[in-house]
A and B are shown apart, each in its own frame.
Chain A
Amino acid sequence: MAHPANQRKKPDCGRWESGGREWALPGKRVWPLHLVTPVWNRGTRGTRGLSRAVAPEGSQKKGRSLLQFLADRFYDVQALREYLLRKQVLKVHQKNRPFTYIRERFGPHAAGAYFILKQGGAVKFQGKEWIRSDARGHFSLDFLKFQAVPVEAVDASGCAINYQGLDSVLALKELQSLWLQRCPHVDDWCLGRLHPLANSLQELSLAGCPRISERGLASLHHLQNLRRLDISDLPAVSNPGLTRILVEEMLPSCQVLGADWAQGLPSGPEEQSRDTASPLPA
C-alpha cells in the first residue's frame, strides 16, 4: 500500500527495510513500524498486544505528525517493545513456577496434579477418573486427599509448560502416559530431561509441538519402556520419514506413530523398492 508521501521525495539517508509497511517521511530515515510478536508465540492465544499496526489516523497531516513523534523517539519505542516482550516471557515463567508448599504438604503427586490442572490440562490418578479443569480454569481440590495415590496419566495438550515446569512432572515417578501435544514451549531441552521417567513411562505424545526437532528425539533412547510414541506433525523436524526410521531403530520395542516413512522421499520406483526394508516394530 503506497503512502502518498512515498511519491514525494526519496529519502537520502539509508533505508531500513525489514518487512512491514514503511512510511517515507520527506528527507528523513525510514522506520518500519511493524510490531509483531515473535514466531513461537503464535501458537498460544493468538497475537496480542504487540500486533497492532500503527496506521495514520484521520487526515494525512495528523498521521504524519504521530509517526514523526514516534520516529523521533525510536529508542523509547524500542525500549517499550523490549519491555512488552520481557513481560510475555515472564508470564510464561510465572505459569511454570513450582508449588513448593503443596509439594511439602501433600506430596509430589498432588503437587504435580495441581500444576497440570492449573495450566489447563488433565490428570488421571491410579484407579480414579480423569480430572480436568473447566472452561474457566476451575477445578475441584478433592485430589489433594489422595496422598499416596500415584498419577498415572497426564494430558498437558496445549499447555504453556516449559523446561522449568517439567520439574513438577518429573516428580511423578509412576507416570505411565504423558501427552504433550501442541505445547508451544516444549523443545529439545525438555526432551533431554525426561530420562527420570524411564522406568514407568509407556506412552508419550509429542504431536504438533513446534519446537521439537530430531535432535531432541535422539535423547528419547533412555525411555526403554516406551510402547507408544507419537511424533506426527512436527514442523521443526527436517526429514520426518528418515527420523521415524531412526527412532524406530533406537526404540525397538516401541510403536512409533506419526510420520509416514515415505514422507520426504523423492517418488520413483527405484527409491521406493530400496526403502521397503525398514525394520518393523517388534
Chain B
Amino acid sequence: MLRRALQPGLSRGVLGRGLGTHRGRSTLDQNGKVSEIKKKIQSVLPRGAWNPLRDTSYLPPEHSDVVIVGGGVIGLSVAYWLKRLEKPQGAIRVLVVERDHTYSQASTALSVGGIRQQFSVPENIQLSLFSVEFLRNINEYLAVVDDPPLDIQFNPSGYLLLASEKGAAVMESNVKVQRQEGAKVCLMSPEQLRNKFPWINTEGVALASYGMEHEGWFDPWCLLQGLRRKVQSMGVLFCHGEVTRFVSSSSHTETTSGEEVTLRRIHEVHAQEEMYLSRCPVCGPGPPSPPPLVPAGEDGPQPGVPACGMCPRDQCGRGLVWPDRRAGWCREGAPWHPAGHPAPCGAEEKGPGLETPFVIDASGAYFRREGLGNNYLGGCSPTEEEEPDPGNLEVDHDFFQDKVWPPLAQRVPAFETLKVRSAWAGYYDYNTFDQNGVVGPHPLVVNMYFATGFSGHGLQQAPAVGRAVAEMVLDGHFRTINLSPFLFNRFYLGEKVQEHNII
C-alpha cells in the first residue's frame, strides 16, 4: 500500500531534490529502445564506422556554465565555493580542466605547505585568517558521507621572521598592521630570541616577529585530495586535458572619454584531451583539430598556473603575470643524532627541537622542522637574476651549497654538520609587478575571471580566494573579503600593491 501511495509522487524525491534518481525499469527500456534504433539505422545506411548514437557519457560535457582552467588547489577551491554558494543547489554546471591528474609538477603538490598571517598587505592577512578558519574546520566544510575525515596534519608551531637593522622598522609597522587585522604576532628582541630558542645565533638580527597562533604548516596534498573528493561529490565535472585556445566574439564600444574599446566574450574553450590524440571534445565530436599553436614558454597554460590565469596576448602586455617563474628550492637536512649521544663527526651541539617554528632568515633562506627524527626542510627562492630555465625542474645542488646552506648554518650553528637527504624544486606563480595575486574579472573580456599570480602564498590563501572568485562570479562583487586592491585594473593604472614579506 505504501508503494502505491508513493508511486504517483516518484518524480521528485522525498526532500524535493531534483537530482533525478532514475527508476530502474525505465533505464532498461531506454537501453533496449536505443539498441533497436541503432540496428535500424545501421541496416539502412551503408557500412561504415559512423556511429551517431554512441555513448559519450565518459566525455566532458559540451556545454558548461563555468570552465575552470587548472585543477590545483585554487581551481578546486573556486569550484567548491561555486557549488556551495550557488542558489538554488545544482543551478550551475562547473567543469574543471586539468592537464595532469597526477599533479606531478603542480605547485600545490610541491609546496612546503606553510600558512602565516605575517604579511604587509591587510588583504593578505585577511585571506590567510579566513583560510586558517577553513583548515581548522575542514571536516565540516569538506565532509563527504561515508568517507573518512581528513587529517591535514597541521603543525601549529608558528612562523619566526628575522630582520636585520635595515628591515626592523618595516617589520614593526608590518606587525602593527597584522595585529590590527587580528593576527597574534609578537615582537622579540635578540635577547628574548636567545632565551626562547637557544639554538639560534642572533648575530645580525635586530628584531624578530613570532606568530603565536594560526600559523604553521600542513599537508597540501591532503587538502587537494579533500577538495577533489568533495567537489566530485557536489557534482563538479572534470576534464583531463589542456586548454589550447578560446573562441570569442568581440564588440566595440566607446568609453566616456571617447576612446574605442574592444570588448570580448568567450564562447568556446578548446581543450586538448590527454587520453585521445588530437580531439577536442569540448567543442563537440568532429574532425580532429590541428595541433595547438601554443609555443612552450611564456604564453599559454604553464605548469603552476592555478586557475583562470591566461592572459590573451592581445589584451595585456607580456610578462605581467609570469606563470612559470621558478623558485622554492627545498632541501632536507640530515637526521641529527638524538640529544645526548655523541655525533659521528664529534659535534656536540643540539639541533632545533620540537618547538622549532618556521624560521625565515633576513637573507630569504628558510627552514622548518619535519617530523620527529631531527629532519628539517629548508630552502630559498632564487632572485630574479639567478632564475633558471622555467621548463626544467631539475635540482641544482650548487645552489644549495652557495645560497641556502651558508645563511642557514650561520643562523643555526648546529646546521653546519647537516647532510642533504633529498631535494626537489617547484614553481611559484610569480607576479613580477607587485608579488600579489590577481583576482577578479578581466576588464576587457567580459566573462573571464582571474585567480592567479600569488607568488608563493597561493596555497595558504586558496580557500579564501576561491570564495572571493565564486562571489564575484555569482554576485558580481566581493562579499566576505574585499579584494578590490587585487583587481587586474591595477596593471593599467600602475598602482602597485607591494607585498614585502614574501619568501
Instruction: Give chain A's interface residues, CB within 8 Å of chain B.
Output: 18, 25, 27-28, 34, 38-40, 65, 68-69, 72-76, 78-82, 85, 89, 163, 188-189, 191-193, 195, 213-219, 221-222, 238-239, 242-243, 245-247, 249-250, 274-275, 277-279
Binds A, one of B289-297, B338-346, B376-384, B481-489: B338-346
Residue-wise, chain B 316-356 has the 8 Å CB interface mask toward A (1 for contact) of: 00000000000000000000001111000000001001110
7 residue pairs, one from A and one from B, having the closest CB atoms:
A192-B156, A221-B355, A277-B340, A76-B13, A246-B354, A215-B155, A218-B354
Q: Considering only CB atoms, which chain B residue lies closest to A218 in the complex?
A: B354
Chain A to chain B contacts (Cβ below 8 Å), 22 pairs: A38-B139, A68-B24, A72-B10, A72-B23, A72-B24, A74-B21, A75-B17, A80-B15, A189-B156, A215-B153, A215-B155, A215-B156, A219-B156, A219-B158, A239-B372, A245-B338, A246-B372, A249-B353, A250-B353, A250-B354, A275-B338, A279-B339
Residue pair B6, A217 in contact (C-beta under 8 Å)? no
Tell me the bound Cα distance from A79 to B233 in angstroms. Answer: 12
Residues A249 and B339 in contact, CB atoms below 8 Å apart? yes
Contact yes or no, A217 B354, CB < 8 A:
yes
Shortest B317–chain A CB gap in Å is 44
Q: Which of A25, A74, A215 is most buried by chain B, counting CB atoms within 10 A of its CB?
A: A215
| Complex Cα gap A238–B148 (Å) | 19
Q: Is B19 an interface residue (CB 8 A)?
A: yes
Q: Which residue of A lies closest to B214 (CB)?
A: A192
With contacts A82-B145, A249-B354 known, is A219 near B157, CB below 8 A? yes
Chain B residues with CB below 8 A from A73, complex form: 13-14, 21
Q: Quick one: which of B1-55 are within 8 Å of A by CB? A: 3, 6, 10, 13-15, 17, 19, 21-24, 28
A214 close to B212 (CB less than 8 A):
no
CB distance from A21 to the nearest CB of B (A): 14
B154 at the interface (CB under 8 A from A): yes
A245 to B340, CA, bound (A): 11
4 other contacts beyond A27-B28, A189-B156, A215-B156, with CB at 8 A cut-off? A39-B148, A242-B373, A250-B353, A250-B355
Q: How far is the CA of A216 from the CA of B354 in the complex (A)?
A: 10
**B213: interface (CB < 8 Å):** yes
Q: A163-B136, A218-B157 are in contact. Are A79 and B15 (CB under 8 A)?
A: yes
In the assembled complex, how far is the CB of residue B194 from the closest CB belonging to chain A, in whole angstroms?
15
Cβ B19 vs Cβ A75 within 8 A:
yes
B354 touches A39 (CB 8 A): no
Residues of B within 8 A of A216 (CB): 156
Contacts of A25 in B (CB 8 A): 24
Secondary structure at chain A's binding surface: helix, strand, loop or mixed? helix
Residues of A contacting B148 in the complex (Cβ-Cβ under 8 angstroms): 38-39
Residues of B close to A81: CB separation below 8 A: 145
The answer to whether B355 and A214 touch across the interface, beta carbons within 8 angstroms, is no
- Is the CB–CB distance between B372 and A79 below 8 Å? no
Which label, helix, strand, loop or mixed, suits the secondary structure of the B interface? loop
Chain B contacts for A275, CB-based, 8 A: 338
Contact in complex: A277, B341 (CB < 8 Å): yes
Q: Which residues of A contact B350 (CB under 8 A)?
A: 249
Asked whether, in the complex, the Cβ of A65 is within 8 Å of the Cβ of B338, the reply is no
> How long is the Cα–Cα vector from A78 to B17 in the complex, in angstroms?
11
Question: Is B146 an interface residue, CB under 8 A from the partner?
Answer: yes
How long is the Cα–Cα vector from A126 to B14 in the complex, in angstroms?
Answer: 57
Given A246-B354, A250-B355: A89 touches B154 (CB 8 Å cut-off): no
Bound together, the chains give a CA A242 to CA B13 distance in angstroms of: 54
Q: Which of B143, B156, B213, B338 has most chain A Cβ within 10 Å?
A: B156
B458 adjacent to chain A (CB < 8 Å): no
Q: Mark B139-162, 1 if CB is under 8 A from A, else 0.
A: 110010110110001111110000
Chain A residue nearest to B10 in the complex (CB): A72
B75 contacts chain A at the CB level, 8 A cutoff = no
With a CB–CB cut-off of 8 A, which chain A residues contact B339? 245, 249, 279
Q: In the docked arrangement, what's the CA distance between A252 and B350, Å?
A: 14
| Cβ proximity bits B228-251 to A, threshold 8 Å, 1 near / 0 not | 000000000000000000000000
Name the residue of chain B whose CB is nearest to the CB of A41. B149
Asked whether B216 is an interface residue with its Cβ less than 8 Å from the other chain, the reply is yes
Question: In the complex, what residue of chain B is closest to A277 when comparing beta carbons?
Answer: B340
Chain B residue at smallest Cβ distance from A237:
B372
Contacts of B157 in A (CB 8 A): 215, 218-219
| Interface hub of A34, A189, A216 (most chain B Cβ within 10 A) | A189
- CB atoms of A238 and B14 under 8 A apart: no
A40 touches B354 (CB 8 A): no
- A39, A85, A193, A243: which contacts B372 (Cβ < 8 A)? A243
| Distance between Cα atoms of A246 and B339 in the complex (Å) | 9
B354 touches A214 (CB 8 A): yes
* CB closest residue in chain B, given A82: B145
Report Cα–Cα, A237/B23, bound state, in Å. Answer: 48
Tell me whether A218 and B146 are in contact (CB under 8 A). no
CA gap between A69 and B9 in the complex, in Å: 12
Interface residues of B in 280-315 (CB under 8 A from A): none
A25 to B17, CA, bound (A): 24
Alpha-carbon gap, A274 to B17, bound state (A): 64
Contact B3 A195 (CB under 8 A): no
Give Cα A169 to B136, complex, Å.
Answer: 19
Instruction: Name the A residues within 8 Å of B149 (CB-CB).
Output: 38-40
Question: Please, which residues of chain A bring their CB within 8 A of the CB of B23?
Answer: 72
Could you tell me the distance between the alpha carbons of A238 and B372 in the complex, rounded to whole angstroms?
Answer: 9
Whether A79 touches B156, Cβ cut-off 8 Å, given contacts A195-B213, A218-B355, A246-B354, is no
Q: In the assembled complex, how far is the CB of residue B96 from the closest CB belonging to chain A, in whole angstroms?
A: 22
Q: How far is the CA of A76 from the CA of B145 in the complex (A)?
A: 13
* Complex-state Cα separation, A279 to B340, whole angstroms: 7
Q: Which residues of A contact B17 (CB under 8 A)?
A: 75-76, 79
- B216 near A76 with CB under 8 A, answer no
Provide the bound-state CA to CA distance between A25 and B154, in Å.
44
A204 CB, nearest partner CB in chain B, Å: 16
Which among A27, A78, A218, A238 is the interface contact of B155 at CB below 8 angstroms?
A218
Task: List residues of chain B with CB within 8 A of the CB of A214.
Answer: 354, 372
User: How many angstroms between the C-alpha atoms of A192 and B215 in the bound complex?
Assistant: 9
**Complex: A249 Cα to B301 Cα, angstroms:** 49
Shortest C-beta distance, A216 to chain B (Å), equals 7
Q: Counting chain B CB atoms within 10 Å of each CB, which of A38, A40, A191, A247 scores highest?
A: A38
Asked if A246 and B353 make an inter-chain contact with CB atoms under 8 angstroms apart, the answer reads yes
Determine whether the beta carbon of B21 is less than 8 Å from that of A75.
yes
CA distance A187 to B355 in the complex (A): 17
